[in-house]
Homo-oligomer: A and B are copies of this chain.
C-alpha cells in the first residue's frame, strides 16, 4: 500500500516524537511491504515564526490532499504566557483549531487506560483502580464554544466579552453515531456527558443521543452531568467504557481521564471526519521545557501512528504489530524518564523509538 502522510512536527518536543513515530512506521513498511510518503508542513509557533500565521492556507491544502496527518504538538508556555493577549487567530493553538475545522475533524477519540506495567505511576489508590480501567472519550471537536461566534464590546463604558455555544441535531447525531460504533467494538456502554439541567444545547444533545441509541439496541446508554463525571472519573474510573461529550467538556474530562492513568506520555488520539481521513496526535502537549533533550516519551505518538494505520488505512494487523511492540518494550522494562520506576532501564526518546521499531 502507498500512503500519503502529512507530518506536522510542530513545537517543543513535537519534532523529536514525530521522528520516532515515522521510524516505527518505516519499519512497518519494510516488514509488511507498504510505502509511507511523508510531506512535512509547519503549524503552530514555528509557522508563526516563519510566516506570521499559525497555519498557512497552503499548508492546510497540503494536509487536505493527504490520506492522513501525523501531528506532534503545537504551542507551549500557554498557561502563563506571552500568547494569551495576542489576537486569538495568531496564537499557535489557532493552527490546531484551524486544521480541525478546515478538515472537518469532528470526532476526537481519546483512549485512556491503565497500563498494568505503569500502575505505580497512577495517582489513584489500588482500591479505586480495582481491576484497572480502559475507556475512550469521544469528544466532539468542531462545534460548541470553540467555534461559536465571539466578540468583545464596550457596553456603558465596561468591556464585555461573549462566546457562543451552539450545536445542531446533525452535529450531535454524527458524533453520537461514532461513539456508538466504537462502543459496539468494546464493552457496549456509552455514557453521554452534558449539563442538561442548565444548558439548552445539552438538552438537545440528550434528545439526539437517545434517538441514535435506538439504532444500537445492544449498547447501554446512560447520561451523566459533567460535574458528576469529573467526580466519577476520580472515584470509580472502571465504570466508563465510552464517554460521549461535547467539545469543551471533552477537553476538560479527557485531560482529567488521561492524568488518572498516570501515563499521559503513553496516550494517543485520533481526530476523524466522515471519510477515512484522520489527524493523529499524542494526547499530551508540546512540553517546551524538555524539548531537544532527547528525554521525551515518543510512545503516545507511536501509538497515534498505530491508530492511523487502523482508522485511515485499515491496516489492523500492522496497527496490532505496533501496539504489541510497545507492550514488549514495556514488559522488557524499558522506560523514558516520565514513566521511570525502580528496577527499570531508562532510555531516551531515540532509543525508545529504536526499541519499538526493532520489535516490529
Contact = CB atoms under 8 A, between A and B. Distances in A.
A228 B204 contact: no
A56 B160 CA distance: 32
Interface string A273-313: 00000000000000000000000000000000000000000
A254 B252 CA distance: 13
Given A84-B206, A230-B252, A259-B231, A79 B161 contact: no
A255 B235 contact: no
B204 A152 contact: yes
Contacts of A128: 123
A37 B240 CA distance: 47
Interface residues of A, number: 72
Nearest to A233: B256
Contact of A234 (B155, B168, B169, B256): B256
A198 to B, nearest CB: 6
Contact of A161 (B151, B166, B253): B166
Contacts of A228: 79, 255
Interface stretch (A10-18, A25-33, A101-109, A218-226): A218-226
Given A79-B222, A84-B223, A150-B201, 8 more contacts: A123-B124, A145-B195, A150-B200, A160-B166, A163-B201, A230-B253, A233-B256, A249-B252
